[in-house]
Amino acid sequence: MNARHRMRAGLGLTILMVAALLPQWAWAGPPLLCWPFDIEGERSLPFGQGGWRAGSPDYDIRNLVEDTLGLLTPETPVIVRMETLRRATVYALKDKSAGEELRARLEARVRLAEASGQPDALAVFDFGYLLGAYSQTGRHIGTTLPGDGSEGYRLVKKAIELRGKDAEMELAAAIMSVDSLWKRTKREHLERALAGARPGSLLARNLLRQRDLLGLDQAVVARLSVPVKP
């Protein structure tokens, strides 16, 4: 093998080693944006079918803030909140002023609840998840929204503490900690999400939907896929 061939072989090995170290989203895109959730027909922002960025061409983004806040009611399941905030982030990429207003309004909900002496776990979760989603907009998309992934993750953990056991919030925290630097953290959140996932449930279906991102093994996939008896 001549020097040129050795150099090419060494370069190829280096690329493979780097690829092995990179997190899954490095190839598939930011995890909070590029991996839509199954929401079983629950109400959310209108969206298209042509991929993770396929917003509805008829949607009036001037309504984004009020529509999003109106959808994030106390009765809205956590996974539906996650998909609504994902869609809101995609729309906000087309109107940064709307995105900044949404961020401010969600933060204000957190502050208002804290000032009353009754912190709202769902408000904390929504603001944290939005911060996490916004923080990932610059990675593959070009447009950057004002977010902070570390602060968003901290707030989601705080929401879990306020809420008590919540397997869907644990799924959110696991996805937010997919980065290879947080592998142990991701595993801990994932284990708690799996513990609360009844086969056939909305949570189980979304764990299966995100199985490549989360690195679920075949035994876990098989358990979550067990048909629910009538």
- Containing structural domain, residue 139: 24-224
Hey, what are 182's tokens?
């947080």
- pTM assigned to the model: 0.85
Let me know if residue 51 belongs to a domain.
yes
Residues 136/150, Cβ–Cβ less than 8 Å: no
Hey, what are 119's tokens?
């912190």
- Measured CA to CA, the distance from residue 53 to residue 34 in angstroms comes to 8
Residues 82/37, Cβ–Cβ less than 8 Å: yes
The pLDDT profile of the chain, 230 residues, written as one tens digit per residue, is: 555 444 444 433 333 333 333 444 444 578 999 999 999 999 999 998 777 777 888 999 999 999 999 999 999 999 999 999 999 999 999 999 999 999 999 999 999 999 999 999 999 999 999 999 999 987 656 678 888 989 999 999 999 999 999 999 999 999 998 865 556 788 999 999 999 999 999 999 999 999 999 999 999 999 999 765 55
- Measured CA to CA, the distance from residue 226 to residue 126 in angstroms comes to 31
Let me know if residue 196 belongs to a domain.
yes
Let me know if residue 17 belongs to a domain.
no
**Count of structural domains within the chain:** 1
